[in-house]
Structure 1
Amino acid sequence: MRNNLVETLMGLVVLFVAGTFLYFAYTHANIANNGGYLLKARFNKVDGLSVGSDVRISGIKVGTVVRQFIDPESYWAVVEFTVDPSIKLPEDTFAKITAEGLLGGNYLALDPGGSDEYLRDGDEILDTQGSVDLLGLLDKFAGSDDE
């Protein structure tokens, strides 16, 4: 009987430590919705970009990708993302999918324009550039000697 009590107490301690770790990870990982406004952009390719990926301006995280889907009419990828409400983006903002590094994933980089009109919740960024296939480029470069 004493053995069961010790095992139960140890199990409770392990669950408490795991719960504390999960709480700490959730509160410090910036996963929670920041209450930002929702924007969308269309891309020909979104390789390496996923839900939860960063949205950055000048390398600083200002939002998060929240949804991706295919437009059934144009077959382009539509990416919906949030932007911090304190960041006001001009309507001529440029969006591109950029690699974090050779081995890392991709993120959505925003380059604000100079317009006096600003994007509002639900608007679409029209100037975009999809992801670049680095392996495909290396393959073309390496295969160019054969021609």
Structure 2
Amino acid sequence: MRDDLPEIMVGGVVLAAALGFIIYAGQAAGIGRSSDSYALKASFRSIEGIDVGTDLRLAGVNIGKVTGLTLNAETYRADTVVSVAHGIEIPDDSALVVSSEGLLGGNYMEIVPGGSPFYLSDGDAISDTQGAISLISLLMKFVSGQGND
């Protein structure tokens, strides 16, 4: 029995560490989290660089995530669902924009707040959207001289 004690202690530490990693992964993925957010919908012409799980920011602060992306077969637009943390009120004339972190950075969704005294609620749609701007097409226009109007 005394010979087994170190092995039992090491096994207990390994199990505790594994359980800690499982709990951390569950919290990071949002598993088991109560509904502490509300959903907003939007439709984009181009949502290049955005996936489910992409950050939603307001004034540079992460306030939610993209939770759904589908192609609307009738309008050929990308229908998007974002979740916003409860307690953050978004004016109903706000815009939802695909922004870039820089030339080599990834894209994220940004809310540009409006000035309306009325706020969006769960399930409402944001009508003012701006999709992704293709850096390659901008460079091609610049190189070919089409941007000089």
Between the aligned partners of 2:11 and 2:134, the Cα distance in structure 1 is: 48
CA deviations on 1:26-67 (whole Å, 9 max, x unpaired) are 43x474556211001111000000100000001100110000
Provide the alpha-carbon RMSD of the alignment.
2.6
Matched with 2:137 is 136
Between the aligned partners of 1:104 and 1:14, the Cα distance in structure 2 is: 37
Between the aligned partners of 2:129 and 2:75, the Cα distance in structure 1 is: 15
The answer to whether structure 1 residue 101 and structure 2 residue 102 are counterparts is yes
Matched with 2:66 is 65
Between the aligned partners of 1:53 and 1:85, the Cα distance in structure 2 is: 18
TM-score normalised by structure 1 residue count: 0.80
TM-score normalised by structure 2 residue count: 0.79
Query: What are the within-5 Å matches in structure 2 for residues 1-147 of structure 1?
Result: 17-27=17-27, 29=28, 31=30, 35-144=36-145
Segments of 5+ residues of structure 1 without an aligned counterpart are 1-8
Shift of 1:70: 1.1
Shift of 1:143: 2.4
* Closer, same or farther: CA 134–18 of 1 in aligned 2, 3 Å: farther
Segments of 5+ residues of structure 2 without an aligned counterpart are 1-8
Between the aligned partners of 2:21 and 2:37, the Cα distance in structure 1 is: 27
Taking every aligned residue pair, what percent have the same amino acid on both sides?
40
Shift of 1:20: 3.0
Shift of 1:21: 3.1
Between the aligned partners of 1:136 and 1:10, the Cα distance in structure 2 is: 58
Between the aligned partners of 1:141 and 1:20, the Cα distance in structure 2 is: 53
Between the aligned partners of 2:140 and 2:14, the Cα distance in structure 1 is: 50
Matched with 2:6 is none
* Closer, same or farther: CA 122–54 of 1 in aligned 2, 3 Å: same
**Given residue 117 of structure 1, which amino acid in structure 2 is its aligned partner?**
F
* Closer, same or farther: CA 13–42 of 1 in aligned 2, 3 Å: same
* Closer, same or farther: CA 22–103 of 1 in aligned 2, 3 Å: farther
